[in-house]
């Protein structure tokens, strides 16, 4: 099937986005507006993101099952989120009108082809943070990049920035094999683990998907790979690709030396082949962010950028929204919101917290989707060993319905068997009340997960 080419559209043509309020879809809509297209869309709820699009001229209708018939009728192209099913009212209506319909990934791939350098950040974890570090480095160097991030970054005032046509920096998600529709000149892979098992059959299929993604650079680009990850090695070993490796060991092309922590934050030199390239004092915690910074330096080096200035740009990065984001204090206890929803992410976040002065680490965790909770059950059971107290709440279903077997109360019982102090509390209001009554100086209190658990922080602090 022939791929969509954005050059087929004319100035002032209309594009309709089904699910326009999603973090990625909204970014694409913003790019479309900046390119001179008229934009319409639909979403379940009005948010600050959709309000911003409306202020820039987007015509949006709201409500579950809403159908923006006017927008679809005048559209030359209809772009849909991966969550939109064939029976979605707008999908049905657009099909009846024989509209050209493509998914989000194909539209993003079409935009990439407009840029000289397309830097795609892929991996089970770390995509948003690494993309944000790259954004800070490129902005510090005044390179005027176009940036698409799966989170909100204060530096660019949201999740999207439209710049010149030399550098495009974006996240590349493996879910539904979306990233296989992209055109990377640099494919950065942070790690590969089991996830999205409602789509993939297992780890072998995931590794094969990343291998196919890496091969998109063959003959025209470079793969930047975190070589400490055995699954990344499986995906890339015995390929004839141009691969640059980064990791904690000297067998990599980029590695750290003289690593130490000051007030919980890593400081280190970046080395390559025994030669010091630059020094970085990070303003985000954790060894995982040392790796993300190494990846950023590797990309900058491949592109021939000034590495000392790139490092200074990385140092200006203090996190994105919902990544170790400090929300406030109660009784001299700090409340932090974090997006971690996979066992590896949870362990990395709690390990990073251990480096800060504290008396107790208290984690409020909301599992995300029944399929992820069920398939990674044993890993979730082991993920909270570094916490002094865990409060588990109901599962955020996202695109799923209750499967009849996966119950967070049972997960709490299995975690308790490991000796973790765990409570199950269903209602957010009850969690907030409990924390307010028990918060003490020296507590680090996390609200953690990819769902609406983020609502608890303001309830605690109000």
Q: Classify domain 12-102 by CATH number.
A: 3.40.50.720
Integer Cα distance of 16 and 13 in angstroms: 10
Query: Is pLDDT of 42 > 60?
Result: yes
Q: Is 264 helix (H, G, I), strand (E, B) or coil?
A: coil
Q: What is the pLDDT of residue 229?
A: 97
Average pLDDT over residues 323-348: 94
Fold adopted by 113-315: 3.40.1190
Alpha helix segments (H runs only) across 331-461: 343-354, 370-375, 377-382, 408-416, 428-438, 456-461
Calpha distance 439→154 (Å, rounded):
29
Out of 90, 171, 193, 315, the active site residue is: 171
Q: For this structure, is 127 an active site residue?
A: yes
Q: What is the mean pLDDT of residues 248-253?
A: 96
Q: Which two tokens mark 449?
A: 């997960």
First to last CA, the chain: 54
Q: Give the right CATH number for 325-461 from 3.40.47.10, 4.10.520.10, 3.90.190.20, 3.90.950.10.
A: 3.90.190.20
Q: Is the pLDDT of residue 302 over 70?
A: yes
Q: Which pLDDT tens digit goes with each residue over 387-434?
A: 999 999 999 998 789 999 999 999 999 999 999 999 999 999 999 999
Place of tokens 């790796």: 291
Helices (H), 141-286: 203-214, 230-236
Q: Which of 128, 146, 170, 296 is catalytic?
A: 128
**Confidence label for 311 from pLDDT (cuts 50, 70 and 90):** very high
Confidence of residue 151 (pLDDT cuts 50, 70, 90): confident
Active site residue 38: no
**Which of these, 330, 460, 456, 344, lies nearest to 393 by C-alpha position?**
456
Among the options 38, 127, 181, 211, which is catalytic? 127
Distances (CA, A) of 461 to 72, 199, 446, 457: 43, 38, 13, 6
- The dihedral region occupied by 286, where left means phi > 0, alpha psi between -120 and 50, and beta the remainder, is left
As a whole number, the mean pLDDT across the chain is 95
Residue 128 annotated in active site: yes
207-213 mean pLDDT:
98
Residue of 340, 244, 343 lying closest to 294 (CA atoms): 244
Q: Of all residues in the chain, what percent are helix, strand and coil, respectively (each to 5)? A: 35, 25, 40
The confidence band for 449, taking pLDDT boundaries of 50, 70 and 90, is very high
pTM given for the model: 0.84
Domain spans of the chain?
12-102, 113-315, 325-461
Q: Tell me 56's DSSP state.
A: T
Structure tokens at 175: 């879910």
24 pLDDT band, cuts 50/70/90, is confident
pLDDT in tens, 84-109: 889 999 999 999 999 999 999 999 99
């Amino acid at each position: 099937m022939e791929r969509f080419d954005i050059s087929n559209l004319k100035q002032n043509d209309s594009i309709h986005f089904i699910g326009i309020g999603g973090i990625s879809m909204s970014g694409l809509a913003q790019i479309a507006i900046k390119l001179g297209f008229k934009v319409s869309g639909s979403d379940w709820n009005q948010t600050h993101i959709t309000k911003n699009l409306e202020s820039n001229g987007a015509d949006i209708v709201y409500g579950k099952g809403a159908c923006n018939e006017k927008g679809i009728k005048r559209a030359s192209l209809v772009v849909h989120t991966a969550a939109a099913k064939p029976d979605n009212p707008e999908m049905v209506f657009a099909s009846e009108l024989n509209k050209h319909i493509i998914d989000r990934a194909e539209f993003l791939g079409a935009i990439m082809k407009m840029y000289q350098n397309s830097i795609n950040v892929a991996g089970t974890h770390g995509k948003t943070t690494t993309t944000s570090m790259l954004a800070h480095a490129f902005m510090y160097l005044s390179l005027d990049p176009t940036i698409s991030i799966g989170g909100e970054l204060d530096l660019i005032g949201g999740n999207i920035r439209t710049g010149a046509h030399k550098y495009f920096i974006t996240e590349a998600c493996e879910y539904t094999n979306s990233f296989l529709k992209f055109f990377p000149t640099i494919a950065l892979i942070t790690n590969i683990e089991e996830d999205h098992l409602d789509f993939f059959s297992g780890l072998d299929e995931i590794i094969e998907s990343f291998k196919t993604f890496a091969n998109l650079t063959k003959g025209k680009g470079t793969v930047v790979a975190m070589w400490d990850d055995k699954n990344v090695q499986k995906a890339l070993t015995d390929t004839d690709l141009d691969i640059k490796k980064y990791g904690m060991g000297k067998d990599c092309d980029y590695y750290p030396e003289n690593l130490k922590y000051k007030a919980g934050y890593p400081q280190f030199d970046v080395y390559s082949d025994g030669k010091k390239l630059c020094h970085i004092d990070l303003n985000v915690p954790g060894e995982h962010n040392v790796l993300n910074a190494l990846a950023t330096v590797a990309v900058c080096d491949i592109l021939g950028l000034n590495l000392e200035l790139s490092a200074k740009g990385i140092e200006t990065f203090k996190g994105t929204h919902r990544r170790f984001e400090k929300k406030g204090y109660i009784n001299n206890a700090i409340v932090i919101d974090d997006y971690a929803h996979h066992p590896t992410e949870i362990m990395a976040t709690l390990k990073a917290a251990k480096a800060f002065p504290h008396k107790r680490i208290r984690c409020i965790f909301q599992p995300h989707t029944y399929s992820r909770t069920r398939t990674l059950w044993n890993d979730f059971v082991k993920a909270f060993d570094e916490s002094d107290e865990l409060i588990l709440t109901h599962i955020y279903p996202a695109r799923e319905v209750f499967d009849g077997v996966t119950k967070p109360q049972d997960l709490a019982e299995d975690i308790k068997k490991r000796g973790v102090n765990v409570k199950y509390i269903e209602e957010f209001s009850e969690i907030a009340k409990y924390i307010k009554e028990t918060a003490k100086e020296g507590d680090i209190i996390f609200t953690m997960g990819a769902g609406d658990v983020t609502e608890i922080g303001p309830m605690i602090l109000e």
